Amino acid sequence: MSDTQAPGKHERSESAQLHRELEVVWRNPRGWRALTVVNHSTLGLRFMATGLAFFLIGGVLAMLIRAQLALPSQAFMTPDIYHQITTMHGTVMMFLFAIPVLEGLAIYLIPKMLGTRDLLCPRLTAFGYWCYLFGGIILLSSMALEMAPDSGWFMYTPLSSGEYSPGKGSDFWLLGITFVEISALSAGVELTVSILRTRADGMALHRMPLFAWYILVMALMIVVGFPPLIFGSVLLELERAAGMPFFIVEQGGDPILWQHLFWLFGHPEVYIIFLPAAGIVSTLLPVFARRPIVGYGWAVAAVIITGFISFGLWVHHMFTVGIPHLAQAFFSAASMLVAVPTAIQVFVWLATLWLGRPRMSLPMLWILGFLVIFVCGGLTGVMLALVPFDWQVHDTHFVVAHMHYVLVGGMFFPLMAGFVYWLPLVSGRMPSERLGRLGFWLTFLGFNLTFLIMHWTGLLGMPRRVYTYDSAMGWDIYNLISSVGGFMLSAGIAMVLLDLALHWRFGRPAPPNPWGADTLEWGLSMPPAPYNFASLPTIKSRHPLWDNPALGDEMARGEHALADASHGRREILGGEVLTGRVRERIHIPSNSWWPLFAALVLAVVCISLLVRLYPLALGAFLVAVAMLLRWAWENGGHPIAAPLGDDEPTSPPLHSRTRGGPARFTMGVSLIADGAFFHSLLFGWFYLWSVSPQWQLPEQSPLDPMLLIGAGIAFALGMLWLERRLRRLYAGDETRLALAFYLIAALGGLHVLLLVALLWQADLAPTDNAHDAVLVVSLAYLLVHGLLATLLMALQGRRAALGYVGVRLPMEPGVVALFWRYQLGIYAILAVSLGVLPRVIGGGA
Amino acid sequence: MMRRVLWLETEHPMQLVLGLTIWSLWFVTAYGGLSVVCALAPPAPEQGALTGINLVLGGLTLVTLGFLAWMTQRCMAAARRKRGRLRYMSALAGGLYLFSTVSVAFVGLPLLMLPPCL
């Protein structure tokens, strides 16, 4: 007996030692230093807690709206206040609650589901959180100052332009939302790269949890879908602050351009919100049906299709602006098509329930609520995709009801299901069935009472965003019922909050894997340690915990990969995209002040722009750039990161010692986002050129062709040289590497100087006409990228001189080269679009 | 011997996005081309659907349909031949190409019936 116990004791001691080592490397500091935390679990929870706070504020605004509309001819609110409140309700719910809370859930769960210890760019997670928090506070402060935006949550021009909204409201919206969107983009980039490159060994794409597929597509949609709105916001703020007339018809602009840019973002956003929620459903249903999901491949195909088709629907929000019937038919057909992948998912869920042995636990109740409400919302969506019907109910409460059926049904109900389901993982306690069921039924009934009735109100012709109505219209009873339902819905949510408040003290302790789930997060301790897994598993199927229920204990005992932290680095495994086979050990950064400081300085930029203190804004912006570059400096072979040593791991090697580390993916995905911004810019140029009635091309292009060509040649020479030096570096030659990088940077500097000269000699009048305004924005875009490319290259030179880049550390120049290729590409496209095409086609076109 | 193009292999991850990317490009070209023609040189409404822009976009639609249908067939055939991960990737790609093909046909159908700029 003692013979068999002795090794057990020894193993336990080794396991305890491993956990101690990991704790030292991964622990979260306390006190003030808690602000430096970059751990994904902590930040995911912070995202969700902040999102909950914003949700409660948005909910109070909704109740104010329902109180105002409960009876006809009410004077509870003035029209001004009512418009501010409706605008802020939509804005808060869409931008400060729905997207961030789902991002927070993904940030918290994805590494745990993929069998790794953290996301790939932990400082980016922290930076995203701080941008979200500060952007949200700036936006909400407008209400306290009684200058909240009041042009509706989609901020249509010209209502939101300087002429009709001269106050600060629109500026708060444009700057605050852009700030918050930095957060969304950060999460989009790092979730994409983390899912593609940091899955557990053997977790090939076809073995990946469905939730990760949904988040992957959502993250890519954020990367592509958010930049058009950021671009539109930049244009509108430039118009309001500097008088550049992008949306003013008399000066060659067009207000419809805003609608295109907004809905290019806005419609995909509906699916950005829906997909993670559907991912929750696809994760929970098999657990409670006690069988694998039926049609895994169908679900994956449906998610990918949704990701694409949802970008082809944006004009269906604009059917009444005067678009040709044929174009309307394109978008009408695409709007009907998007119902197909959604229907595939619904049938996958129904088939799983049909063939399984469903248990009616609390999370399932929320899922059934979702199925009922979302299917109804989807059906009214198909009705609205039909152009003649859309014309009838456009801008009525029917559309408001449809939107809430889709968004609350499609996002809030699954979110609640996921919240109840994963709560034991966070707290180690089980949710209360009794309070939870009461909360569900009040919410479900209250929701339907509010919004089912609202369809009728809309069909009877009640327009949206009117602050009151006359009793003679016949809408009284419907509005009263909706208001009563709204307060019932609030009572349901209050019940859920009460459950949450009592949970931490009175909740029953949760047993291991309390729901009998198959995914890796349930193999962790509850709550999980900051490093998640003491050792990282090898995956052989889609259901690791169903195949091996003891896997959690094995990982905790350190019986799998990377069971060592004595080196003091935070390490995770990097794998191949397709097969998940291990390629490298990725060392990720530890806690840092830089994310908080950089976000704080960006908040100063935002506030300075609001109060129009432009020198301060410029100064703060430069400080923020310096901070971000300093943050990037502490990477690779830097002493704070992973300095070169004699006994480095080789199988697999550290990622900074390879050529194709995940940093290339991160840069690549970031450039996709940048490319979406660039395409929005191109779209704006060609749109105004072909559509705006007062657009005037000058007889001769103001851009000097010699300077245009010279700037291009300087940069292309630098690019060619960089490629050549990269090949030599990879071949093992690092002679005079630093000097070469400095000289390449000098060519980048020449490119920038020639661009400045081009802008100077063009003598543009950006406040007089939209043509010159677009030229200025385009050249500024090239200048910023040229400057950044030059700066990054010069820093590479310095790093090569210090020994942070070289034959043993070859990763970084390849990453910078991607950025140089991008700059060369966009330069060529813009040179043709702005400089060559107008010469070929001629002025006055 | 002709060099094989890696990303045209049916199990390459690129196949998961290529079909729908082609659909997106076709969609943007159709809408953008139509908008530019209607803004600069709209044909007379009396011509109905028999206009140059309908014909050009219709031709583009047929070419796109042909390529997508061919890729659908290739991926489906590969899925029948292969096993495991390769079969999964080919079948998934085949399904996505099939959907892209149907989408081009469905969205392009109004080109046969509607005048472009009315």
Whether the per-residue pLDDT at A527 is higher than 90: the answer is yes
Residue A304: CB atoms within 10 A of its CB come to: 24
Of A206, A308, A336, the CB nearest to B20: A308
Nearest-neighbour CA in chain B from A570: distance (Å): 30
The pLDDT, as a whole number, for residue A409 is 92
Of A300, A304, A691, the CB nearest to B39: A691
The pLDDT, as a whole number, for residue B49 is 87
In chain B, which residues have their Cβ closer than 8 Å to the Cβ of A845?
40
Confidence of residue A236 (pLDDT cuts 50, 70, 90): very high
Q: Per the CB < 8 Å rule, is A305 touching B99?
A: yes
Q: A460-475, pLDDT tens digit by residue?
A: 999 998 999 999 999 9
Residues sharing a CB contact under 8 Å with residue B33, sequence separation 6 or more, in sequence order: B53, B56, B57
Of B85, B110, B118, the CB nearest to A330: B110
Cis ω for the linkage preceding B43 (within 30 of 0): no
DSSP state letters, A27-57: PPP-GGGGGG---HHHHHHHHHHHHHHHHHH
Domain membership of residue B12 (yes or no) is no
The pLDDT, as a whole number, for residue A646 is 79
Of B13, B24, B31, the CB nearest to A577: B13
ipTM: 0.92
A204/B contact by beta carbon, under 8 A? yes
Q: A303-345, pLDDT tens digit by residue?
A: 999 999 999 888 888 888 888 889 999 999 998 899 899 999 9
Interface test with A, best of B15, B60, B90, B107 (most A CBs within 10 A): B107
Q: A12-49, pLDDT tens digit by residue?
A: 788 899 999 999 999 999 999 999 999 999 999 999 99
Domain membership of residue B11 (yes or no) is no
The values of phi and psi at residue A187, to 5°, are -65, -40
Classify residue A471 by its DSSP letter. Answer: G
Q: What is the mean pLDDT of residues A382-410?
A: 92
In chain B, which residues have their Cβ closer than 8 Å to the Cβ of A308?
17, 20-21, 23-24
Q: A321 and B35 in contact (C-beta within 8 Å)?
A: no
Domain membership of residue B90 (yes or no) is yes
Q: Per the CB < 8 Å rule, is A330 touching B89?
A: no
Q: A194-206, pLDDT tens digit by residue?
A: 999 999 999 999 9
Residue of A nearest to B100 (CA): A305
The values of phi and psi at residue A527, to 5°, are -75, 160
Radius of gyration of chain B (CA): 18
The pLDDT, as a whole number, for residue A696 is 85
In chain A, which residues have their Cβ closer than 8 Å to the Cβ of B30?
330
Q: Which amino acid is at A290?
A: R
The pLDDT, as a whole number, for residue A556 is 94
B76/A contact by beta carbon, under 8 A? no
B56/A contact by beta carbon, under 8 A? no
In chain A, which residues have their Cβ closer than 8 Å to the Cβ of B103?
309, 334, 337
CA A391, A393, A395, A400 dihedral sign is negative
Domain membership of residue B28 (yes or no) is yes
Domain membership of residue B69 (yes or no) is yes
Q: A353-382, pLDDT tens digit by residue?
A: 999 999 999 999 999 999 999 999 989 988
Q: Report helix, strand or coil for A475.
A: coil
Q: Per the CB < 8 Å rule, is B27 touching A315?
A: no
B13/A contact by beta carbon, under 8 A? yes
Q: A82 and A467 in contact (C-beta within 8 Å)?
A: yes
The pLDDT, as a whole number, for residue A5 is 44
Q: Report helix, strand or coil for A368.
A: helix
In chain A, which residues have their Cβ closer than 8 Å to the Cβ of B76?
none
Nearest-neighbour CA in chain A from B70: distance (Å): 19
Structure tokens at A814: 């390849």
B48/A contact by beta carbon, under 8 A? no
Cis ω for the linkage preceding B42 (within 30 of 0): no
Domain span at residue B30?
A: 19-38+49-112
Q: B78-104, pLDDT tens digit by residue?
A: 999 988 888 898 999 999 999 999 999
Structure tokens at B8: 């045209």
Residues sharing a CB contact under 8 Å with residue A45, sequence separation 6 or more, in sequence order: A104, A108, A426
Q: How many domains does chain B have?
A: 1
In chain B, which residues have their Cβ closer than 8 Å to the Cβ of A341?
99
Task: Say which residue the tokens 């080789």 belong to.
Answer: A650
Tell me the pLDDT of chain A averaged across its residues. Answer: 94
Q: Per the CB < 8 Å rule, is B116 touching A305?
A: no
Q: Per the CB < 8 Å rule, is B20 touching A309?
A: yes
Of B23, B91, B115, the CB nearest to A297: B91
Residue of B nearest to A576 (CA): B13
Whether the per-residue pLDDT at A724 is higher than 60: the answer is yes
Say how far residue A508 (Cα) sits from the centre of its chain.
35
Of B30, B40, B96, the CB nearest to A301: B96
CA-nearest of A542, A525, A422, A514 to A114 is A542
Q: Per the CB < 8 Å rule, is B36 touching A690?
A: yes
Nearest-neighbour CA in chain B from A694: distance (Å): 13
The pLDDT, as a whole number, for residue B9 is 80
A308/B contact by beta carbon, under 8 A? yes
Q: A66 and A483 in contact (C-beta within 8 Å)?
A: yes
CA distance A723 to A827: 18
CA-nearest of A761, A750, A767 to A716 is A750
Domain membership of residue B68 (yes or no) is yes
The pLDDT, as a whole number, for residue A416 is 96
Sequence spans of domains, chain A: 21-506, 696-845
The pLDDT, as a whole number, for residue A843 is 53
Q: Per the CB < 8 Å rule, is B99 touching A340?
A: yes
Q: Report helix, strand or coil for B49.
A: coil
Q: Per the CB < 8 Å rule, is A691 touching B17?
A: no
Q: A681-690, pLDDT tens digit by residue?
A: 999 999 999 8
Q: Per the CB < 8 Å rule, is A690 touching B88?
A: no
Give the A:B interface size as CB pairs under 8 Å: 94
Architecture of the domain delimited by A696-845: Up-down Bundle (1.20)
Q: From residue A232, how far is each of A79, A132, A255, A774 by CA, in Å? A: 27, 19, 11, 12
Q: A147-190, pLDDT tens digit by residue?
A: 999 999 999 999 999 999 999 999 999 999 999 999 999 999 99
B112/A contact by beta carbon, under 8 A? no
Whether the per-residue pLDDT at A808 is higher than 80: the answer is yes
Q: Per the CB < 8 Å rule, is B85 touching A691?
A: no
Nearest-neighbour CA in chain A from B46: distance (Å): 15
Q: B36-77, pLDDT tens digit by residue?
A: 888 888 898 888 888 999 999 999 999 999 999 999 999 999
Whether the per-residue pLDDT at A1 is higher than 60: the answer is no
Of A204, A327, A340, the CB nearest to B85: A204
Whether the per-residue pLDDT at A144 is higher than 50: the answer is yes
CA distance A393 to A69: 19
CA distance A67 to A77: 9
Q: Which amino acid is at B115?
A: P
CA distance A556 to A560: 9
The pLDDT, as a whole number, for residue A321 is 86
CATH T-level topology, domain A21-506: Cytochrome C Oxidase; Chain A (1.20.210)
Q: A824-839, pLDDT tens digit by residue?
A: 999 999 999 999 988 8
Helix (H) or strand (E) holding A587: strand A582-588
Interface test with B, best of A210, A311, A326 (most B CBs within 10 A): A326
The pLDDT, as a whole number, for residue A95 is 95
* pTM of the shown model: 0.94
In chain A, which residues have their Cβ closer than 8 Å to the Cβ of B20?
304-305, 307-309
Distance from first CA to last CA of chain A, Å, rounded?
Answer: 93
Whether the per-residue pLDDT at B3 is higher than 90: the answer is no
Classify residue A466 by its DSSP letter. Answer: -
CA-nearest of A838, A702, A833, A706 to A762 is A702
Residue A145: CB atoms within 10 A of its CB come to: 11
Classify residue A529 by its DSSP letter. Answer: P
Confidence of residue B1 (pLDDT cuts 50, 70, 90): very low
A829/B contact by beta carbon, under 8 A? no
